A and B are shown apart, each in its own frame.
Chain A
Amino acid sequence: MFDALSDRLRDVLGRLTGRGHVTEADVDAAMREVRLALLEADVNYRVVKEFVARVRERALGAEILESLNAGQQVIKIVNEELTELLGRGDRTFRLTGQPAVVALVGLQGSGKTTSAAKLARYLVKQGRQPLLVAADPYRPAAVDQLVQLGRSLSIPVYAAPQGTPVVRIAQDGVAQAKRTGRDVAILDTAGRLTVDEALMEEIREVAAAVGPSEILLVVDAMTGQEAVNVAQAFAAAVPLTGLVLTKIDGDARGGAALSIGAVSGLAVKFLGTGERTDALEPFHPDRLAGRILGMGDVLTLIERAQETFDAKAAAKAAEKLRRNAFTLDDFLEQMQQMKRMGPIGQLLEMIPGMRGLANQAQGAVDRGELRHVEAIIQSMTREERADPSILNASRRRRIARGSGTSLPDVNRLVKQFGEMQKLMRMMQRQGGRRPSLPFGR
């Protein structure tokens, strides 16, 4: 479907290399694909219309760069325009005031409470001392939820006595932060519908009473065409300063963020990337552009790799790759490093063209196949790991028994490792095709 946008564009335009320019008909064919793809990503239809018109104009005027074929050229233009759109607005996260006040607002179920906890944890990492303020007295157990999250993070939570008006809760929470020397107060407000005038008035009063330096609209990445109206209604009530885009760890494209950015100029400041409280990331427009286009997010992958990879070990592995001396031992070590980087599905998803594989790989991990691979390698002797070619039938049977797997499992791993070595040699020589993974099919 959407994954194939890059491929589809290449199909439509791919054979035009060498002509020097693309015809209007070619571009129109490509623009139909772009339009469909963006609509499937839940980008607002008006935004899509303008966007396609702009890309069309640029594509018609563009000379084909020597290094790129027409398809790639159009993708490049689309990507640049998307990045530009997503990059609009101010992404600075401002904490001013003693304490600085951050308010999270949004529809029911968009992920405000979870985001509040994540943001608190993020700020602690930045050396701040946040106080979480439970300002949702409506939803049953919403206060409990924040208190429990705070407890699990050892971050204090202000919870007002039952029956306290919401504006008062906010004021008391901020006062509490001041008194206890916390430098940021994070307000978790109740979910509200934009048509609920009483509650929209309430949030207006809360904002007026405590003057947050950041009022973030929490938006579910799965939101459809209504995202724009929701953002505009909230912006009309309170001075929004940005967005938190949540549940981006699913397979939703997050076109909502693009629409809101294009229409209201609000920038995404944070991404919610999972259910754990550490799953919050600062936003990078080029990366979401790639995601919306299905082109991957290599930069985040590299960043995360840098955070978790042992640089020396990685250099060693790279050197071994070059010398064709990459053994199963090295493979095991690489795999263990990968595991530290987070869910493998998420990792693969960041690599262009890997979305399908990503789901498959995550499935393999969830089914414990990666553990099997580990067990198999760990059941080998040193000699066997260094040179799998000595693995005869009897050795393989022993390994299967030792690792609690079956003979076919062992055979598959050995075979796939061999293929991977071959592939790596190929990739050494030139950028090659997609590597297959040492598990699954």
Chain B
Amino acid sequence: MFWRRGRRDQAADEGRQEQPAGASPQPAAPPDAAPVASSAPPPGGTLDTSPGDAAASGSPRSAGLEPGPAAVPSTAPAQGDGQAEPSATIADGLQASRRGFMARLHGIFRGGAADEAAWEEAEETLIAGDVGARLAMDVVARARSRRDPAGPEAAVRAELERLLPAVPPGPWRPLRPDPSLPAVVLVVGVNGTGKTTSIAKIAARLAAQGDRVILAAADTFRAAAIEQLEAWAARLDLPLVAHKAGADPSAVVFDALDAAVARGADVVIVDTAGRLHTRHNLMEELAKIRRTIDKRLPGVTPEVLFVLDATTGQNGLAQAKAFHEATGLTGIVLTKLDSTAKGGIVFAIEQALGVPVVFAGVGERVGDLVDFQPASFVEALFA
């Protein structure tokens, strides 16, 4: 369970910025005074207050950051580990996924030798984990031909692991070919995968490592997207470059890069609007942002992170391909791994593009981001 440390524990609520009513800095307004706000924002504004309050109410940001790379066990003993889980909620969640793949594999291959039906069920189990029908068939076929002395289960596991490129050791660092210029991290993906939240997590992690981080609010399209990033920036106490809603995202990026150079920042993280990969003009807009970076900071190869929701099915591959074509992906952030979803589409993406998964998002707190570990992913995620 390489992501386990980052999961929400019983103190979950503090991470969700909920506050006890008594702690509210706003006097609780009587219901009658509550605004019907077709024109006016709610009293006090929603902006910044909620994250600010959360921080004020003692959200242990540094504690949330602890599950960094050092805390990640490289090989997690799948079963025993779960028992030590502090929260019933999480343990249940893990139980749910544990009932999934490997448990079933154990069942399927009980007794060592596998017959036709067992292999077929193995294939089905992979499909149930969103690995995809064709790839599942391939993996099982190769596992069969391996004649692995360690048994069929080990063979399937090995074949799955083989599909994931090895991740360089040590904590993730953004590409920075020229140390005199800031590194640029461009974060892209379809709508609702968790880009903004992932950015907050990555920013917090880099800041904790001593990097000077600047955020760029280049999602100028979705309602309140800028406010969402502003809220995180305030909470993390990071500078943010933003224009008005509807502005040209490339212009935002250009200004952010200027600001980063002027202030000698180490990293600029760019939030982009979610977009369906089938919209040509929106993908073009993304390519233009990429070109803007190349133009403003020649020689800086941006880190382009594709944010993928683990609940995504086979469409994830089409997404990744389209974003790769438009922007040249350098890494994948696999989010919502704390759900019951298995994220099996990653295998197909890795096979097609070879872009490594670098992070796993495992919760809503700012510390709920861990380095991706292929072996543990296969072992633990499917356990």
Q: Are A226 and B339 in contact (CB under 8 A)?
A: yes
With contact pairs A40-B132, A161-B34, A198-B13 given, residues A249 and B314 touching in the complex (Cβ less than 8 Å):
no
Question: Using a CB-CB cutoff of 8 Å, which residues 148-163 of chain A contact chain B?
Answer: 148-152, 154-163
B30 nearest CB across to chain A (Å): 9
For B18, list chain A residues within 8 Å (CB): 137-138, 163
Q: Does A423 contact B (CB under 8 A)?
A: no
* B window 302-319: CB within 8 A of A: 309, 311-316, 318-319
Asked if B374 is an interface residue, CB under 8 A from chain A, the answer is: no
Which listed residue, A156, A179, A180, A195, touches B89 by the CB 8 Å rule?
Answer: A195
Assembled-state Cα–Cα distance A209/B224 (Å): 29
Partner of B311, one of A111, A141, A220, A250: A220
Are the CB atoms of A39 and B28 closer together than 8 Å? no
Query: Within 8 Å CB of A151, what residues of B?
Result: 37-39
Whether A150 and B127, one on each chain, are in contact in the complex, defined by CB atoms closer than 8 angstroms, is: no
In the complex, are the beta carbons of A42 and B338 less than 8 A apart?
no
Q: Are the C-beta atoms of A195 and B17 separated by less than 8 Å?
A: no
Produce 1/0 per residue, A132-173, CB < 8 A to B.
Answer: 000001111111111111111011111111111100000010
A157 CA to B37 CA, complexed, in Å: 5
Q: Which residue of A lies closest to B133 (CB)?
A: A39
Q: Given the interface contacts A158-B34, A162-B24, does A140 sit within 8 Å of B51 by beta carbon?
A: yes
Q: Is A56 an interface residue, CB under 8 A from the partner?
A: no
User: By the criterion CB–CB under 8 Å, are B21 and A148 in contact?
Assistant: no
A165 to B41, CA, bound (A): 19
Which of chain A's residues have a CB closer than 8 A to the CB of B51? 140
**B104-140 to A contact mask, C-beta < 8 Å, 1/0:** 0000000000000000000010011110111000000
Stretch at the interface among A18-26, A251-259, A402-410: A251-259
Task: State whether A161 and B24 are in contact (beta carbons under 8 Å apart), knowing that A140-B51, A151-B38 are contacts in the complex.
Answer: yes
The segment from A62-70, A286-294, A304-312, A359-367 found at the interface with B is: A359-367
Report B330 CB to chain A, min CB distance, Å. Answer: 23
Q: Are the CB atoms of B133 and A131 closer together than 8 Å?
A: no
**B230: nearest chain-A partner, CB-CB:** A141
Cβ–Cβ < 8 Å partners of A44 in chain B:
128
Given A111-B191, A197-B92; A222-B315 close (CB under 8 Å) = yes
Across the interface, A195 reaches (CB within 8 A) one of B26, B93, B318, namely: B93
- Across-interface contacts of B20 in A (CB, < 8 A): 163
Q: How far is the CB of B14 from chain A (nearest CB, A)?
A: 12
Does chain A have a CB within 8 A of B8?
yes
Give chain A residues whose Cβ lies under 8 Å from the Cβ of B17: 137-138, 140
- On whether the beta carbons of A109 and B38 are closer than 8 Å, the reply is no
B16 on the interface (CB 8 Å rule)?
yes
B336 to chain A, nearest CB (A): 7
Q: 7 A-B contacts, Cβ less than 8 Å apart? A: A42-B315, A144-B224, A161-B26, A161-B34, A163-B18, A172-B31, A195-B92
Given the known inter-chain contacts A224-B130, A226-B311, A366-B281, please indicate yes or no for A195 contacting B42, CB distance below 8 A: no
- Asked if B8 contacts A251 (CB within 8 A), the reply is no
Note all chain B residues with C-beta closer than 8 A to A229: 340
B: residues with CB less than 8 A from A are: 8, 12-13, 16-21, 23-26, 28-29, 31-32, 34-39, 41-44, 46-47, 49-51, 53, 88-90, 92-93, 96, 124, 127-130, 132-134, 190-194, 196, 221-225, 227-228, 230-232, 235, 276-281, 284, 309, 311-316, 318-319, 336, 338-342, 344-345, 364
CB distance from B191 to the nearest CB of A (A): 6
Q: CB < 8 Å: which of B227, B232, B277, B364 contacts A250?
A: B277
User: Are A222 and B53 closer than 8 Å at their CB atoms?
Assistant: no
| A140-B50, A141-B47 known; A157-B222 Cβ under 8 A | no
Contact with B along A113-132 (1 / 0, CB 8 A): 00000000000000000010
* B48, chain A: closest CB distance, angstroms: 9
Q: Which residue of B lies closest to A148 (CB)?
A: B223
Give Cα A222–Cα B36 distance, bound, in whole angstroms. 35
A197, B28: Cα distance in complex, Å = 28
A6 close to B (CB within 8 Å):
no
Chain B residue with the shortest CB-CB distance to A154: B38
Once the chains bind, are A363 and B49 in contact (CB under 8 Å)? no
Q: Contacts A108-B336, A226-B130 known; A138 to B16 CB distance under 8 Å?
A: yes
Collect the chain A residues with CB atoms within 8 Å of residue B50's CB.
Answer: 137, 140, 162
Smallest Cβ-Cβ distance to A363: which chain B residue:
B280
- Alpha-carbon distance between A138 and B51 when the two chains are bound, in angstroms: 9
Partner of B314, one of A41, A147, A149, A163: A41
Contact in complex: B34, A141 (CB < 8 Å): no
Can you name 18 extra interface pairs (CB under 8 A) apart from A162-B49, A163-B26, A194-B340? A44-B128, A45-B128, A109-B193, A111-B192, A139-B228, A143-B46, A145-B224, A147-B37, A151-B37, A157-B37, A195-B338, A197-B92, A223-B311, A224-B316, A226-B130, A226-B341, A250-B277, A250-B278
A362 to B280, CA, bound (A): 7
B136 to chain A, nearest CB (A): 9
Whether the pair B34, A176 counts as a contact (CB closer than 8 A) is: yes
Please report the C-alpha to C-alpha distance between residue A268 and residue B176 in the assembled complex, in whole angstroms. Answer: 48
The residue in A150, A179, A196, A249 that gathers the most chain B C-beta atoms within 10 A of its C-beta is A196
Interface residues of A in 252-285 (CB under 8 A from B): 252-253, 255-256, 275
Cβ of A170 to closest chain B Cβ, rounded Å: 12
Q: Is there an interface contact between B336 and A225, defined as CB atoms closer than 8 Å? A: no
Query: By the criterion CB–CB under 8 Å, are B36 and A176 in contact?
Result: yes
| Set of chain B residues within 8 Å of A175, measured between Cβ atoms | 31
Q: Does A36 contact B (CB under 8 A)?
A: yes
A225-B47 contact in complex given A108-B192, A144-B224, A251-B278, C-beta closer than 8 Å: no
B49 to chain A: which residues have CB within 8 Å?
Answer: 162
Contact B339 A195 (CB under 8 A): yes
CB <8 Å contact, A40 and B224: no
Residue from B24, B88, B341, B345 whose CB has the most chain A CB atoms within 10 Å: B341
Contact A162 B53 (CB under 8 A): yes
Residues of A within 8 A of B127 (CB): 39, 45, 225
A160 to B88, CA, bound (A): 31
Of A172, A222, A230, the contact of B313 (CB 8 Å cutoff): A222
Roughly how many angstroms separate A165 CA and B194 CA in the complex, as a whole number? 25
